[in-house]
Amino acid sequence: MARLWGAFARERLPALGRRTQRDGELTVTVGPHTLAGPAAAAEAFARPATLTLTLDGAAHDDPAALLRRLPLGPATPRLAAEVDNSVANLALAWARQPHPDEGPSALARAVAAPDPLAYLEQCVVDGHPLHPGCRTRIGLSTEEVLAYAPEHRPIVDLVRVRVPDDRWRGPAPATLLVHPWQRDHVLSAYPWLRPEGEVAARPLMSLRTLALVADPATHIKTSVDVQMTSAVRIVSPAAIHNGPALSELLARLAPAGFTVIPEVAAGAVLVDGEPSRQLAMVRRRLPSYPADSVVLPFAVLSAPSPADGRAIVTELAADPLRFLTEATTVMLPPLLTLLRLGIALEAHGQNLLLVLGRGRPTGLWYRDLGGVRVSPARLRAHGLEAPPLLGDLVSDDPEVLRTKLFAAAVSTVLAELVATLARDAGLDPADGWARIAGVVDAIAAGDAADPGDVAALRRAPLPLKATTAMRLADDPLEDQWVWQPNPMEATG
């Protein structure tokens, strides 16, 4: 409900009228209706324990039922069904979490686990921090959610499938690892594909990407024909083509302290001569890192600790302002350097990983190249050539490039970190954004970033993906953005 209420507070939704705020209460008109509730609960990354909104004076605590009462256009039933599914899966996730036991910290438990990264990724209970479909898994039964979803910590047996050589696009051998959901719902249509055993794996945050139990440094991105948040999670021919090429390019461009998790191989079964989105995979290989270090996606920092239920970042941040400053200093310089060179990463909390050395930020990793934007013009200006790419990755428009990076890295990752530290560690958000602005100013004083990019980041309104407006649109997968006041603009 809080994620949905936030959308009414900031996004351009159908039939949305006036927004007014008074005495801590936000009121929104939607067609002939009046919707009201606490303004604080509509702020991005708010986590109220309970939330009731009033529609024309009547109380509502069911977000899907509320949606069905509103004139939000022909896609309203679709969104309401997605929210129903999300509510059920989020409730299931929380119901099955163990109560905090006042035991070791999350990082201490991770280090003792067989796969520290997988352990930490599976601590994320809430899913997408802003999307009302944060736990949508349309196509999975409750039993399948329990069997496959990372927050339930299962071991998943991927199916090894032998593919005839003439029906395979990808590196040899012609072997496909298939998610068991895909085996049960898709594979039977292709009797010429022969299963040849199973490979145990642990699901990561995205459910369809898994770390092999026998080799945790190998991650497999599988096709699963299930809608999770906003999209059905297949592996497109573009992803198969682009991933290894972009991995090689980013490895050459990588600034100090930055590492891309390479997509070392990708492949798909050929059906009617074309790569099948349903029968495809991507193989990633984790780099090595020092034995005293831990790697975790930024989203994990806001996940609840098994020790006391507070955000995991509170176990790391004895000095919240210092931790935020160090994390920002590790994060923003390489991202802005790559943007100057022509690579805008979709650096949200799942794709962007923080390296911690003895609990202190020391480096940055990035994974999943499907959502990046690449500027051939910027690359050429630095004596580089973009590899041939498929799909919609190519753009020379600086606004497109900046929006892609800033919406993920700043409006989502850094904003959530500030909100989490404010809620659970007593950070003053104004102080936090002043420190982030100081890091940006220090970057501007050098020559690693493009001056136009830095000026836009420091002063211009910041983009945030309008996830609810997208789900109500005719094309729910076309990006929409909402532009918000820049919290760094008031810092001098």
* pLDDT > 90? residue 290: no
Examine the pLDDT at 172 and tell me if it is beyond 90: no
Q: Has residue 449 been placed in a domain? A: no
Residue 60 shares a structural domain with residue 192: no
Residues 191 and 128 in one domain: yes
Would you say residue 237 has pLDDT above 80?
yes
Q: Are residues 188 and 243 in the same domain?
A: yes
Q: Is the peptide bond before 173 cis (omega within 30 degrees of 0)?
A: yes
pLDDT in tens, 47-60: 999 999 999 999 99
Last residue of a domain, one of 16, 38, 73: 73
User: Region 17-23: what's the mean pLDDT?
Assistant: 97
pLDDT in tens, 358-417: 999 999 999 999 999 999 999 999 999 999 999 999 999 999 999 999 999 999 999 999
In a shared domain, residues 132 and 274: yes
Per-residue pLDDT tens digits for 143-162: 999 999 999 999 999 999 99
Beta bridge partners of 232: 227
Using an 8 Å Cβ cutoff, are 350 and 306 in contact? no
Confidence of residue 490 (pLDDT cuts 50, 70, 90): confident
- Report pLDDT for 153: 97
Work out the average pLDDT over 313-330: 97
Report the distance separating Cα 309 and Cα 312, nearest Å.
Answer: 8
- How many CA within 13 A on the CB side of residue 293? 16
- Does the pLDDT of residue 492 top 70, yes or no? no
Task: Give me the percent of the chain exceeding a pLDDT of 70.
Answer: 100
Find the domain containing 10 and state its range. 2-73
pLDDT for residue 256 is more than 80: yes
Residue 491 pLDDT level (bands cut at 50, 70, 90): confident
Both 185 and 274 in a single domain? yes
Over the Cα atoms of the chain, what is R_g? Answer: 22
> Is 188 found in the same domain as 59?
no
Mean confidence (pLDDT) of the chain: 96
State the average pLDDT over residues 164-185.
95
Residues 129 and 225 in one domain: yes
Domain assignment present for residue 79? The answer is no
Task: State how many domains the chain has.
Answer: 2
Residue 19 to residue 27: CA distance in whole angstroms:
6
Asked if residue 236 is part of any domain, the answer here is yes
Question: Within 13 Å and on the Cβ side, how many CA atoms surround 2?
Answer: 17
In-domain check, residue 64: yes
The arithmetic mean of pLDDT across residues 3-11, rounded, is 98
Q: Which residues pair with 363 in a beta bridge?
A: 355
| Residues shown for the chain | 492
Identify whether residues 103 and 136 lie together within a single domain. Answer: yes
For the stretch 421-463, pLDDT in tens is 999 999 999 999 999 999 999 999 999 999 999 999 999 999 9
